[in-house]
Structure 1
């Protein structure tokens, strides 16, 4: 009976190659892998052809899904290769880390103690528990490295123990030392003995840490090894993080471990496979056992003997796709430079650092901007794994996966844009599905504006994040299908919110999601909130979204008229209360109120109901004619009436003269002018009478008064487009009249001369039979 401890680096291609070779030579009858024992049933799926890494084991607490952790694997992860070997050889394989049922149980117990000790409120306790869970989760992830940092604060890690070995070898970076010693080297012998000896020396020399979590983990691992020995397995292979190897090789007495593991609290845990991405496998995602270059590691896993030629060929291909001139000579020179740098640094082969330096010098001509492209597309790569539908998953997650397959909406690591034509059945179903996910706060798809007119098109951008899996599991408590979960979740949320704007936003998504039960609940909720609300500005904020809802009536075959009664009632209340709300308003508040006026005016125009339009115009007349109204709002109300052709000609000139009169304070006149001209200066270019009134008002201002109103005037004209400002400037230079193109007519049309030009025009258009066309003309 023999036990072989294989200390590895998680997600290391060299370690994965060494593990694979060692197992093939040893031919063990059981393999023990550092991982959650609750996921033992999932190991059989590793050899399934449709389970393609990168993937991760998601472990979570069913009654509190936000308490979860991930165990990611790539093709170059030693644990993944061990699982593949065990599946191919049909031998026993188990996970041997401390069960997550105990980990979550300890967290729950500590949170309960903290709540009692500190007297936290229910909400504060939940927050503290979530933070503690995050820290512990990070700590668990950190333990998946070659070593454990032993810190409970992931953002301020302790010094990497490997850095001590790197410093002794003359390296300033422990990662780089490990890569050149273990990940890049070929045909290594007795590598695991060397790793175990090095870790043993580090554990003896470095200060001992009183990390209970680490002690529990290592005690449980030893327990699993003893159990395998008791079951009479003859050749036991143990795959663990290198830091743990000495603790598993030099076992204490069994009684000590039993005392340490006695009475651990428990919590229920469930596990499943989920797709993972290389970007989430990298350090930047916050994953404690992350690696800086998963795409590069995949490359050296697939091409271990590459001297840089294959890599540089990939870089050249990427540059050519971006229309960058890259020749074979560039590739050859870059490879030579990378190998020369490796030789100068006494490396057996160039690593990623040498290849990047050669790329920057030769292919990028010293410009570092292209290195970001290489990092995104090659060094990290946007790659996502694949999980078969047959893998046991929570019902809601399975339903979402079913719809994704049916609607041909694959999960992608990079974003993908979809333009949906809602007149087509498949695109309509896609839209309904995405809107239902949004209602549950699963923002896989983000809606963007579409070009062109009409309500039959939607633009979506989809990008999958593995963290959505936790959101899906959490929402699974509301139902087993997307429709059921969305209905119950929104109904509950609508009843607990008191914000009219939020409920209207939900209704705007519920109608395109085709959830009639939800729509009825939300309409009733809006009606109750609107009746109880005395804030006219809040009512104005929600009118555009309510009016927008009615636009779905034709394409989606939805009775959007359900909201019309509420909309009309709210507009009526707004028209009654708005004139009073526009008095005694500060300048900053008036400026913000103009946007509500603009949206309100557009919404009422979109409804195309004469009665509502008439009520709105009467409200604008009352505001514009009230001397107590804020001048900026009064000016804008006048402008909207002018656009609607309610105030024109002499009436407009008279109102303008009164508002811009010398008797008025210049600041008020400037504010009225800013409101009137908001959004466009085209009026001043086309209306000479209006231009004359503005020109006369500005001209008669005294110098000190002009200086006072100049900031307001500059703010007014800064909102115009650059061509409008240029034309207004030209108009001032020309003494008040803008340049214009004049058409001079010298008489009637000469038919004979016009006919003579037709053949030439037809020939220019590519119509060769121009003579026939000319004759026909």
Structure 2
């Protein structure tokens, strides 16, 4: 005897009806709508470490990016059917059209544009969805089930199915009623025939016939409700054989992977998705709940977030949900009624907390678990074992970690995550300041099931994370021909402890640097190399390997830079200044006397060269002032020369913009420089002033609001004396008076006055 059980994918009521029906009829084989290639994986369904939600992943062997997922939750009818079969040691098989044929058919164009659209929807949705139905007067949502919903007085077919099937406790003749209703739709509606759906149903019938041929007497078939009539009223076997004859196929590989409730929801784009996985799980566990348990969970969540929610609130919300259900002619409140009651009573009409409710309870983004012994690609298996060994579990929600690189375990975690980033598997993202130079490193981890596809794709580079990452980095290095790209790869490869790749990158970087005549490109790489050279040993890497290369590149830059600063337009000059900042910071970071001296000599050449771009010459002068190479009268003389009447106003304004780049504090402290700038502006005639005003405004726009306010007050106060304000010397400090403030400071810090450091 054949029992056709038409269900809704991921429906808790459907799952309950299937489980009860199988327990009653006790079939000797169960056929489930799913990919036949995964039959061997069904043995893992009742494994103790298999915790749904999980999914079957099937991908094309030679093109891993061509993949499909078959997800299952605990409340999925197919999952309950598979669990029943494994627990009672009876046969269970998948019966859908093999994915090997589906992928091959995807390469063939659809016969019409309409069929292409219909077929796309058919492949994704649990029930048939069509492009157009002529001569229909009732509201239609691209789903034939809307007719049955309208006949029952529902505006939405989803609500109709939930209240008629999913919330039903008695499964008596429920499958017969579903099959009868769908049969009427398929008989009476002018639905277009879709090739892919005809092939799927033909293959399902083929599997059923094969089970009968093998002498199974009590066959249970679990399929989408729309397919039930097609499997009950079988055509001749020859018709199905002719339809399936000669189908193309490709090679397929498959495995189990963890899934998430978030990926089961509509929001993820899943065609057969459900709006509320968390609510469906609650309905599966507590089918008789009248809303009280659910409201108690809502109240508990709100209390955790600091929102006052009393027992009276819960009781009133349940009463309101019951009243809404009664007004709408429903036997019990559904999620819609409970949400409306929550919004009105618990949230006081404010939907902000409803967003939290949707995330934490209605969707409830949890992740499943699969046994580690399940056959998987070697790279995926290595990643999972490393995750377990380093205690970095995959989580559907984000989780923050802080590593102390002085600890061996945390250092190994950091190396592992850096390698995954290089492979393009973005499970982890650095969240803090780059930890080079410190012993702390912050990461945020969040797992997405789609990353499994990326892992399979990268598996062609190696069987372990280390080997795959090393070969992949070498591949990127060999296909890149620019210094910045190679330098970025080197910066990422060092914290990933890829020593072989680092050697290749260093050799290629040296070759490119020796052959490059582009000074700006060389300057772009310097900050990264300096960071590696200065801080690489924090991760126990050998940073000395880049020192000789760095010195050679700095020498090339210092020789070529003065000439490169001439004949530049405004855009190029501003780009060069940004590189100047990086170079200056690098020279200071290295703390090597020969490099610093060479850099300062280069700045002097740029500042004194009359052909240098004015804005760059001004910035070079500012850097020399910071180094105290130009100070006092010498600096004032440079200002007078650059701002003299012999200099075009636009050129003088550009020079001033370069000098003032970064901070205007120097004008507040040095009265001589302020006098030069102030007097220069005062000597400009009206036309010239209007000409340079945009440049001046741009120069001062980069300063902070307090700096601009103080400069404005200084200009408003009138002409200055021309004297330089100096900080008080040590001789002018009253030590006795300063010592009287120490007890107060110690008290503010909470330190006793007799601490060892107090005497100092």
The TM-score, its normalising length taken from structure 1, stands at 0.89
Check if 1:374 corresponds to 2:357: yes
The aligned residue for residue 604 of structure 1 is 587
Q: 1:747 to 1:218 in 2, by over 3 A?
A: closer
The Cα shift of 1:308 comes to 2.0
Look up the SS of the partner of 1:553 in the other structure: helix
Q: 1:765 to 1:283 in 2, by over 3 A?
A: closer
Separation (CA, whole Å) in 1 of partners of 2:342 and 2:716? 56
The aligned residue for residue 7 of structure 1 is 6
Q: Deviations over 1:720-766 (max 9, x none)?
A: 223323333343444478999999x9998889x999x9999999998
Q: Deviations over 1:515-549 (max 9, x none)?
A: 11111111112122223332222222222112222
- Whether the aligned pair in 1 keeps the contact of 2:567 and 2:611 (CA below 8 Å) is yes
- Whether the aligned pair in 1 keeps the contact of 2:33 and 2:96 (CA below 8 Å) is yes
- Whether the aligned pair in 2 keeps the contact of 1:635 and 1:674 (CA below 8 Å) is yes
Separation (CA, whole Å) in 2 of partners of 1:220 and 1:22? 24
The aligned residue for residue 456 of structure 1 is 439
Check if 1:708 corresponds to 2:679: no
Equivalent residues in 2 for 1:236-255, closer than 5 Å: 236-255=219-238
The aligned residue for residue 17 of structure 1 is 16
Q: 1:683 to 1:168 in 2, by over 3 A?
A: farther
The Cα shift of 1:769 comes to 11
Q: 1:537 to 1:82 in 2, by over 3 A?
A: same
Q: Deviations over 1:603-661 (max 9, x none)?
A: 22222222222222222222222222222222222222222222222222112222222
The aligned residue for residue 345 of structure 2 is 362
The aligned residue for residue 271 of structure 1 is 254
- Whether the aligned pair in 2 keeps the contact of 1:394 and 1:473 (CA below 8 Å) is yes
The aligned residue for residue 126 of structure 1 is none
Unaligned runs of 5+ in 2: 133-139
Q: 1:397 to 1:747 in 2, by over 3 A?
A: closer
Which of 180, 202, 205 matches 1:219? 202
The Cα shift of 1:469 comes to 0.5
Check if 1:146 corresponds to 2:127: yes
Q: 1:683 to 1:174 in 2, by over 3 A?
A: farther
Separation (CA, whole Å) in 2 of partners of 1:576 and 1:759? 56
Separation (CA, whole Å) in 1 of partners of 2:21 and 2:274? 24
The Cα shift of 1:169 comes to 3.4
Separation (CA, whole Å) in 1 of partners of 2:610 and 2:620? 13
The Cα shift of 1:56 comes to 0.6
Look up the SS of the partner of 1:446 in the other structure: strand
Q: 1:408 to 1:586 in 2, by over 3 A?
A: same
Separation (CA, whole Å) in 2 of partners of 1:137 and 1:60? 20
Q: 1:332 to 1:691 in 2, by over 3 A?
A: farther
Look up the SS of the partner of 1:49 in the other structure: coil
Separation (CA, whole Å) in 2 of partners of 1:54 and 1:747? 72
The Cα shift of 1:224 comes to 0.4
Look up the SS of the partner of 1:513 in the other structure: coil
Q: 1:283 to 1:747 in 2, by over 3 A?
A: closer
Look up the SS of the partner of 2:578 in the other structure: helix
Look up the SS of the partner of 1:647 in the other structure: coil
Separation (CA, whole Å) in 2 of partners of 1:467 and 1:754? 65
Separation (CA, whole Å) in 2 of partners of 1:457 and 1:695? 48
Q: 1:769 to 1:661 in 2, by over 3 A?
A: closer
The Cα shift of 1:716 comes to 2.3
Separation (CA, whole Å) in 1 of partners of 2:552 and 2:38? 58
Which of 424, 433, 436 matches 2:407? 424
Separation (CA, whole Å) in 2 of partners of 1:671 and 1:746? 40
Separation (CA, whole Å) in 1 of partners of 2:227 and 2:258? 28
- Whether the aligned pair in 1 keeps the contact of 2:436 and 2:536 (CA below 8 Å) is no
Q: Deviations over 1:112-161 (max 9, x none)?
A: x99xxxxxxxxxxxxxxxxxxx9999657514x1335589xxxxx98122
Q: Deviations over 1:40-96 (max 9, x none)?
A: 111121111211111111101122111111111111111111111111111111110
Higher mean C-alpha deviation, range 356-365 or range 511-520: 356-365
Look up the SS of the partner of 2:538 in the other structure: coil
The aligned residue for residue 137 of structure 2 is none
Separation (CA, whole Å) in 2 of partners of 1:428 and 1:268? 41
- Whether the aligned pair in 1 keeps the contact of 2:127 and 2:143 (CA below 8 Å) is no
Q: 1:174 to 1:599 in 2, by over 3 A?
A: farther
- Whether the aligned pair in 2 keeps the contact of 1:141 and 1:287 (CA below 8 Å) is no
Equivalent residues in 2 for 1:716-727, closer than 5 Å: 716-727=699-710
Look up the SS of the partner of 2:348 in the other structure: coil
Equivalent residues in 2 for 1:554-565, closer than 5 Å: 554-565=537-548
The Cα shift of 1:307 comes to 2.1
Higher mean C-alpha deviation, range 716-725 or range 57-66: 716-725
The aligned residue for residue 78 of structure 1 is 77
Q: 1:762 to 1:674 in 2, by over 3 A?
A: closer
Separation (CA, whole Å) in 1 of partners of 2:682 and 2:751? 59
Q: 1:747 to 1:698 in 2, by over 3 A?
A: closer
The aligned residue for residue 570 of structure 1 is 553
Higher mean C-alpha deviation, range 646-655 or range 245-254: 646-655
Equivalent residues in 2 for 1:300-449, closer than 5 Å: 300-449=283-432
Unaligned runs of 5+ in 1: 115-133, 152-156
Separation (CA, whole Å) in 1 of partners of 2:604 and 2:301? 63
Q: 1:529 to 1:766 in 2, by over 3 A?
A: closer
Look up the SS of the partner of 1:662 in the other structure: coil
The Cα shift of 1:289 comes to 0.9
Check if 1:494 corresponds to 2:493: no
Look up the SS of the partner of 1:60 in the other structure: strand
Separation (CA, whole Å) in 2 of partners of 1:651 and 1:390? 76
Higher mean C-alpha deviation, range 369-378 or range 410-419: 369-378
- Whether the aligned pair in 2 keeps the contact of 1:455 and 1:551 (CA below 8 Å) is no
Look up the SS of the partner of 1:301 in the other structure: helix
Which of 184, 195, 200 matches 2:178? 195
Q: 1:498 to 1:768 in 2, by over 3 A?
A: closer
- Whether the aligned pair in 2 keeps the contact of 1:8 and 1:146 (CA below 8 Å) is no
The Cα shift of 1:346 comes to 1.4
Separation (CA, whole Å) in 1 of partners of 2:650 and 2:352? 50
- Whether the aligned pair in 2 keeps the contact of 1:300 and 1:306 (CA below 8 Å) is yes
- Whether the aligned pair in 1 keeps the contact of 2:278 and 2:362 (CA below 8 Å) is yes
Look up the SS of the partner of 2:448 in the other structure: coil
Higher mean C-alpha deviation, range 661-670 or range 94-103: 661-670
The aligned residue for residue 646 of structure 2 is 663
The aligned residue for residue 106 of structure 2 is 107
Look up the SS of the partner of 2:661 in the other structure: coil
Look up the SS of the partner of 2:256 in the other structure: strand
The aligned residue for residue 685 of structure 1 is 668
- Whether the aligned pair in 1 keeps the contact of 2:670 and 2:725 (CA below 8 Å) is no
Higher mean C-alpha deviation, range 43-52 or range 303-312: 303-312
Look up the SS of the partner of 2:537 in the other structure: coil
The aligned residue for residue 38 of structure 2 is 39
Separation (CA, whole Å) in 1 of partners of 2:531 and 2:746? 48
Separation (CA, whole Å) in 1 of partners of 2:751 and 2:548? 59
Q: 1:617 to 1:318 in 2, by over 3 A?
A: same
The aligned residue for residue 135 of structure 2 is none
- Whether the aligned pair in 2 keeps the contact of 1:512 and 1:552 (CA below 8 Å) is no
Equivalent residues in 2 for 1:61-100, closer than 5 Å: 61-100=60-99
- Whether the aligned pair in 2 keeps the contact of 1:731 and 1:739 (CA below 8 Å) is no
- Whether the aligned pair in 1 keeps the contact of 2:600 and 2:624 (CA below 8 Å) is yes
